[in-house]
Copies of this chain bind each other. A is one copy, B any other.
Amino acid sequence: MKYPVWRQQLVRSLHLHRSKPEAKYFQAASVDENMLPRLRTMVFRDFLEGTHSFLAITDSRSEKVEHWKRSPETELHWYFAKSREQYRFRCKVGLVQLPQNNLADISGVLNMSEQSAKDCLLNTWERLSDSAKKSFSAPSPKSKLNTELPEDIREYGIERKGSSNDTNAPEATKDKLVVSDYFTLVVFEPYASDYLDLKTRPHTRQISNLNESHWQAQSVNP
Interface residues of A, Cβ cutoff 8 Å to B? 20-22, 25, 27, 29-31, 35-41, 71, 73-75, 77, 79, 81, 86, 88, 90, 138-145, 147, 202, 205, 207, 218-222
Copies in the complex: 2
Q: By the criterion CB–CB under 8 Å, are B139 and A37 in contact?
A: no
Given that A25-B79, A79-B22 are known contacts, is A144 also in contact with B38, CB under 8 Å in the complex? Answer: no
Q: By the criterion CB–CB under 8 Å, are B221 and A77 in contact?
A: no
Contact of A41 among B31, B38, B79, B141 (CB under 8 A): B79
Residues of chain B within 8 A of A37, CB atoms compared? 29-31, 37-39, 73-75
Given that A35-B31, A40-B77 are known contacts, is A142 also in contact with B207, CB under 8 Å in the complex? Answer: yes
Q: Which of A29, A74, A138, A220 has the most CB of B within 10 A?
A: A29
